Structure 1
Amino acid sequence: MEYRKIGNSDLALSVITFGAWAAGGWMWGSTDRNDAIKAIKASYDLGVTSIDTAPIYGQGDSEEIVGDAIKGISRDKLQLVTKFGMRWDLARGDFGFKSKNNEGKEIDIYKYAGKESVIYECEQSLKRLGTDYIDLYQIHWPDTTTPISETFEAVSRLIEQGKVRYAGVCNYDVAQLKEADQTLEIISNQIPFSMVNRDVEEEIVPYCIEKNKSVLAYSPMERGLLTGKMTAGYKFEEGDHRQGNKFFSPESIEKTNAFLAKIKPLADEKNATLSQLVLRWTVERPGITIALAGARNEKQAVQNAAAINVKLSAGEIQLINTELARAGF
């Protein structure tokens, strides 16, 4: 595995970081707890020492699964990355959306990052994860009802108390990053990025490069679209958030698969899967520090971790970029 320093900090994360959203089941059409635990352990055995989760993933389930999976592993050999600012148990802040929990009960999701809420959420996350500190603590989505300074004053206090090591953000634009930095140094921004979804390269990634802030790319496989295993008539399980998503329209799947067919010979030449080729390309992209790769079972986890063994020359990266442009991505 390869490891990269995050921002100006001394925190290093595994370049392939385990993304534990799907492990929590919520919005992915259920999960198998034992499979998820095995996936995390298999990743760790291959050097994936960093795990990204959030309280909202399964309304605590994902963090508890991570906590179970890491029992017995020396804490200083792990980097735990989690989030705050999405409440399903408190109707405050920006209303996000309606959803259903893993039991099928309707819940309302709010984006809220008031001071007392941040402190409370941290305590809950520490309990679920079974640890006494979080390596990187990130606001999950902007909350327009709370001053950014108030939110990060709370994170500052958690850092002073030793409960958090570093502060990050997710889904922040440049103006929000600048404002947050006035209260506390932000070392990273977790944002959506994939071969077919590169809007963040216009402003956010160049700003992060300039200010030495790391980019943690989430959904680098575009939630399974870039595996080459999706077909135009793919049927999603009940509760799967991908149903109705623009990337999963029959036209989008066909267009993406036509592009993937063009780069498959390169994957074959490298004795790699398409997923592994896509992940390696992602972490070679300027400004992209870490790729978050989700897995729901051991096989997927092992495959994701092995992506780091794929080596790409400048010419091969250019070949992929040329095919992307030809495909209209």
Structure 2
Amino acid sequence: MTAMHCHFTGRNFISKSLSTFLPLLSIVQTQAMAVTIHNALPSLNALKSKSIIRNRPESRRVSANSVRCCQVATSDKQSITVSNGNDSLEICRVLNGMWQTSGGWGRIDRDDAVDAMLRYADAGLTTFDMADHYGPAEDLYGIFINRVRRERPPEFLDKVRGLTKWVPPPVKMTSSIVRESIDVSRRRMDVPCLDMLQFHWWDYSNPGYLDALNHLTDLKEEGKIKTVALTNFDTERLRIILENGIPVVSNQVQLRIGKFIPFLNPL
């Protein structure tokens, strides 16, 4: 199964495809390009290990034993569905990456950028990948989605997806901090619910990432996030997260030629 991830530059996009499989459901990002690779994980029984397990109420959430990052369905040639348990999101096979709007590649003209986003969405590339720290990326998406609402039919809006990331500062992950940060992204993107929130953590010696992910799952149950995902987590921490019953649907990791750290200890 092949998928691509295009990097957004305002007027130009750089894209490349890679046809391969990885042992977990991943969104893989490189410095010069990014490739989205989806592979079904048949079972998480192999993930059982003696690691950090935090008790969570069963309520509406799946237990650690029932977590599955395995459903990757194709509805047509342009889209795929990533899922874990009851959580799922249909996305375009080709993602429009917006990290080049962060400022290191020159000034971004807002109108040109949004016009380009509309052209690519009209061409069927309806999924956009961004982050809270990618400069004005979330704001550009907010302008873009409002133009879609005004200028395109409702069925077109239903196909558009905005995937963003949250890279928190090294502070205690309280419910209020997580909630406030997600609300900022929702306001910037001008959406009531984030299609996907991809979470990043800097320091694995600090297990606060589990607190953050639990709070993100709470926000998902409140309807502020549709799916919870990860970015740049290694396999050991991914195992811990899944064993704690957090239903992440994907893990976007950095991949460089000659540097395959995320895959040195495969699941």
Q: Which residue of 2 aligns with 1:190?
A: 252
Q: Which residue of 2 aligns with 1:299?
A: none
Q: Secondary structure at the match of 1:54?
A: coil
Q: Which residue of 2 aligns with 1:5?
A: 81
Kindly tell me: are residues 77 and 137 of structure 1, through their superposed partners in 2, closer, same or farther at Cα, counting changes over 3 Å? same
Kindly tell me: are residues 150 and 183 of structure 1, through their superposed partners in 2, closer, same or farther at Cα, counting changes over 3 Å? farther
Amino acid at match of 2:199: I
Q: Which residue of 1 aligns with 2:145?
A: 70
Contact 2:233 2:262 in 1 (8 A): no
Kindly tell me: are residues 48 and 195 of structure 1, through their superposed partners in 2, closer, same or farther at Cα, counting changes over 3 Å? farther
**Aligned counterpart for 2:122 among listed residues 42, 45, 50:** 45
Q: Secondary structure at the match of 1:70?
A: helix
> For 1:267-312, what per-residue CA distance to the aligned partner results, in whole angstroms no more than 9, with x for missing partners?
xxxxxxxxxxxxxxxxxxxxxxxxxxxxxxxxxxxxxxxxxxxxxx
Say whether residues 1:80 and 2:156 are aligned partners: no
**Aligned counterpart for 1:176 among listed residues 237, 255, 260:** 237
| Unaligned runs of at least 5 residues, structure 1 | 94-111, 208-329
Give the TM-score, by structure 2 length. 0.61
Amino acid at match of 1:71: N
> Percent of aligned pairs with the same residue?
25
**Aligned counterpart for 2:179 among listed residues 119, 124, 141:** 119
Give the superposed CA RMSD: 2.2
- How far did residue 169 of structure 1 move? 0.4
- How far did residue 194 of structure 1 move? 5.3
- How far did residue 35 of structure 1 move? 2.2
Say whether residues 1:18 and 2:96 are aligned partners: yes
- How far did residue 199 of structure 1 move? 4.5
Give the TM-score, by structure 1 length. 0.50
- How far did residue 85 of structure 1 move? 2.5
- How far did residue 44 of structure 1 move? 0.4
Equivalence map 1:1-329=2 (5 Å): 2-8=78-84, 9-25=87-103, 27-58=104-135, 61-73=136-148, 74=154, 75-87=157-169, 92-93=170-171, 113-144=173-204, 145=206, 147-181=208-242, 182-193=244-255, 197-203=259-265, 206-207=266-267
Kindly tell me: are residues 142 and 6 of structure 1, through their superposed partners in 2, closer, same or farther at Cα, counting changes over 3 Å? farther
- How far did residue 186 of structure 1 move? 1.1
Following the alignment from structure 1 to structure 2, what is the Cα–Cα distance between the partners of residues 125 and 173?
A: 25
Which structure has greater strand proportion?
2
Q: Secondary structure at the match of 1:178?
A: helix
Amino acid at match of 1:150: D
Following the alignment from structure 2 to structure 1, what is the Cα–Cα distance between the partners of residues 201 and 106?
A: 23
Bigger Rg, which one = 1
- How far did residue 198 of structure 1 move? 4.4
Q: How many residues get paired?
A: 180
> For 1:182-220, what per-residue CA distance to the aligned partner results, in whole angstroms no more than 9, with x for missing partners?
1411110001235665444433xx53xxxxxxxxxxxxx
Which structure has greater helix proportion?
1
Amino acid at match of 1:133: C
| Unaligned runs of at least 5 residues, structure 2 | 1-76, 149-153
Kindly tell me: are residues 195 and 85 of structure 1, through their superposed partners in 2, closer, same or farther at Cα, counting changes over 3 Å? closer
Range moving further from structure 2, 40-49 or 71-80: 71-80
